[in-house]
Homo-oligomer: A and B are copies of this chain.
Amino acid sequence: MPHLSREPLDPGALLEAARRDGDGGLALFVGVVRDNNDGRRVTEMEYEAYEPMAEAEMERIEAELAGRFPVVRVLLRHRIGRLRIGEVAVVVAASAPHRDEAFAACRAGIEEIKARVPVWKRERGPDGSVWVDPGAPLG
């Protein structure tokens, strides 16, 4: 199943895909493009990936989360391409019998994506464009 998509992501559909009939608690994280970053106005965000590795890494994260949270089914998706404000860049859907595990696995899913999946974004705004570096040293 492809984890990277050039087409718009559908968070509700992913949540339903994660659900099994024994599940009662579903947690979802959705990352969207916002209209500002580090005090700069943003009009568009362009995502790119090292595609085969990003696919493989998201599969590995899903497999690891299945080991850490055996009662949860977690599904991950990342969008690539040019996104406007409010468009969905990333979705983590976690479905479990109860809410504790769903929240924990959902949170772990987005943290792992941010730490490991080779995706970059170029921010565009009135002042030009810049590659976003969330961990850049200040100053």
Whether, in the assembled complex, A67 has its beta carbon less than 8 Å from a beta carbon of chain B, the answer is no
C-beta contact mask, A69-91 vs B, less than 8 Å → 1, else 0? 00000000000000001100000
Central interface residue in A10, A26, A35, A107, by most chain B CB within 10 Å = A26
Whether, in the assembled complex, A32 has its beta carbon less than 8 Å from a beta carbon of chain B, the answer is yes
Q: Which of B15, B19, B24, B110 contacts A99 (CB 8 A)?
A: B110
Whether, in the assembled complex, A97 has its beta carbon less than 8 Å from a beta carbon of chain B, the answer is yes
- Given known pairs A29-B103, A99-B29, A103-B107, the reply for A34 and B11 (CB within 8 Å) is no
Inter-chain contacts of A32 with B (CB < 8 A): 19, 23-26
Inter-chain contacts of A35 with B (CB < 8 A): 21-22
